[in-house]
Amino acid sequence: MASPSRVRQELAQEAARIMLDDGIRDFGLAKRKAAEHLGVDARHEMPGNLEIQDAAIERSRLFASPASRAAYRGRLEAALVVMERLRHLEPRLVGPLLQGLVESQPLINLHAFAETVEEVILELGERGVHCESGERRYRSRQGREQRIPFLAFRGPDGTDIELTVFPLDGMRQAPPSPVDGRPMVRATRADVERMLEEASADEAPVTAD
């Protein structure tokens, strides 16, 4: 009989596979499906969200095809282009692309900072960029719910961009991560440039001396 720690590891790996293969972003749903697939009692101690995320990153890199690695690098390039064009909004990369998920939904998540979302909509419109708006709900460390607007539009080469527009003072405190509740990690353009260099190096063919 497998030890509890081994079962927990298998559940994390299966939940990670489900999230990657089925495009599920809900950790709780992925855990329940993993327990069902493995025939594990739902009362068993489940892996934490961070364990599943780490397993997903490892799996996505291990099984990534050359085409998916190229697509990942292309998303990083597209993110850099948008971040450069909107550099006065101090954009930051967040989400699966930043986490290093090679196999993931082709959505680029960015945070930006402005006095109003209307001024960003106006600027995008002047650039000929049509966007749709919505709201994201975040819970602060104090437990208060915040509703932050986001803009969805097409970026370079038809990439899907989701730009969440925080108030100017929102740069000081990142919202809690849905994974572990800690402040969400945000990457600057310089960070993304380093990620792109690493991704390009991973794609480079190995030549014999």
What is the SS3 assignment for 150? strand
CA torsion, points 80, 82, 83, 85, in degrees to nearest 10?
Answer: 120
Segment (H or E) for 64? none
Question: Whole-angstrom Cα distance, residue 171 to residue 42?
Answer: 40
Question: Could you read off the pLDDT of 137-184 as tens digits, one per residue?
Answer: 887 666 778 899 999 999 988 899 999 999 998 888 888 887 888 889
Residue in the block written with tokens 């945000």: 186
Sign of torsion over alpha carbons 149, 153, 159, 165: negative
pTM, rounded to two decimals: 0.82
Question: Could you read off the pLDDT of 126-149 as tens digits, one per residue?
Answer: 999 999 999 998 876 667 788 999
Task: List the one residue out of 91, 102, 70, 59 whose CA is nearest residue 192.
Answer: 91
Is the CB of residue 55 less than 8 Å from the CB of residue 13?
A: yes
Question: Could you read off the pLDDT of 6-32 as tens digits, one per residue?
Answer: 888 999 999 999 988 887 888 889 999
